[in-house]
Amino acid sequence: MLRILDRYLLRELAFGTAGSAALLLVVTVGGTLSDVLSKVAAGRYPAGVMLPVLGLRILDALSALLPVALFLGVLLGLARLYRDSEMHVLGSSGMGPEGLLRPTLLLAIPMTLLVGAISLWLGPWSAATAQAMVDSANRSVVAAGLEAGRFTELPGGSGVLYTQALSPDGQRLTRVFVASERARPGHPPEVDLVTAARGRMFVDPQSGDRFLALSDGHRYSGTLGQRGWRLLDYRRNVVSLDSIRAGTVDTAAGSPHQQGTRALLRARAPADRAELAWRIVAPLSALVLALLALPLARQQPREPFYGRLLVAVLAYLVFANGLGIGRAEIMAGRRAGAWLMALELAAVAVLALVWFRRQHGERRVRGRLP
């Protein structure tokens, strides 16, 4: 059963954390949306999967966003109490450092568990799901927005497809036109123009690639501005939509960030070990930052808050850069990076607790009154 004072302090810290998380989430959504829109405009992402991919990427970003939100929330919540002299009144009433540490841990421990769940499971799952969704949609010109009587850009932006009529299931096409471009190093791009009376889309059950089977048409191949174009009449022609977009879609399938935590535990590659270390550090950093915010938030009633906030931001930057250096060392194949990250977490936690204890400890009288 929580005391009234614990509930009051916990509510103040929770409101500060929620406000900080909302502000950081708006910034994250704006940056992620800009990145997704740029890839949709470049043809790397089909427009039909923009919103699901945006949501999955935001979920993946929460493992880095929530520790910062907790740090700022505890800092801002306690700073308001100090600025309004409430903490000084509570201290003079007999509340010791344990009374402030307890509600902070009541908020930080569940947040640490939540960040751990996102970092170790939900984040990799959302990244892998978003990439699989993009890959699946890129194999389907229907998902890319194919409509009858309208030129549709092929996934990857390397060509266009036109059909006069389209069946309701999106599999059968009538009067088809396909224009694609193939580039070879040191040669001008070669253009392929394919026409057909009918077309049917199907998926290879073994490879999962999507093909377009065309019937009764013509194929023109050549280089724009040059002679020697080739003409081919055919009864049946199968066009691989995956081969058309090969090399044009930016994909990170199979990257360490998209692998499960169990797979990373068995991996020995430096990049995999660096990703595993970063996932473990993320929840621990949330707890350490919450402890660090306790001494940084203390101020006098008339002391400007902006100086404390600047010191807190600089402390976070040093902390985050130290973890980044450790990750880079692990990625370079040096085991010292893991020790660096562990020592930094332990050192910052001990420093925060000792600093906080000294702030609330009994002060010695330097001299005697005459």
What mean pLDDT is predicted for residues 227-251? 68
153 is a domain residue: no
Domain end call among 207, 226, 244: 244
User: What pLDDT is attached to residue 252?
Assistant: 45
DSSP characters over 215-226? EEEEEEEEETT-
Shared domain check, 206 and 128: no
Quote the tokens at residue 93.
């009433």
Which tops the pLDDT comparison, 352 or 228?
352
What mean pLDDT is predicted for residues 34-39? 84
194 is a domain residue: yes
How far CA 253 is from CA of 134, 136, 249, 257, 268, in Å, comes to 10, 12, 11, 9, 19
- Does residue 323 have a pLDDT over 60? yes
User: What pLDDT is attached to residue 155?
Assistant: 57
User: Cβ(196)–Cβ(179) under 8 Å?
Assistant: no
Confidence class of residue 239 from pLDDT cuts 50, 70 and 90? confident
| Total number of domains constituting the chain | 2
Which tops the pLDDT comparison, 241 or 243?
241
Shared domain check, 189 and 209: yes
What CA–CA distance (Å, rounded) separates 368 from 106? 42
77 is a domain residue: yes
What mean pLDDT is predicted for residues 136-156? 65
Shared domain check, 124 and 12: yes
35 is a domain residue: yes
Shared domain check, 33 and 54: yes
Shared domain check, 257 and 126: yes
User: What pLDDT is attached to residue 362?
Assistant: 56
The range of the structural domain enclosing residue 74 comes to: 4-137+253-359
Closest CA to 136 of 22, 34, 55, 253: 253
User: What pLDDT is attached to residue 150?
Assistant: 82
Confidence class of residue 99 from pLDDT cuts 50, 70 and 90? confident
CB half-sphere exposure, 240, CA atoms < 13 A: 9
What mean pLDDT is predicted for residues 113-124? 95
Please write the tens of the pLDDT for every residue from 60-89.
999 999 999 999 999 998 888 888 777 777
User: What pLDDT is attached to residue 249?
Assistant: 37
Domain end call among 216, 244, 272: 244
Question: What residues are paired with 232 via a beta bridge?
Answer: 219
User: What pLDDT is attached to residue 96?
Assistant: 66
What CA–CA distance (Å, rounded) separates 239 from 5? 71
Shared domain check, 121 and 215: no
Confidence class of residue 59 from pLDDT cuts 50, 70 and 90? very high
What CA–CA distance (Å, rounded) separates 316 from 328? 18
Shared domain check, 229 and 257: no
User: What pLDDT is attached to residue 191?
Assistant: 87
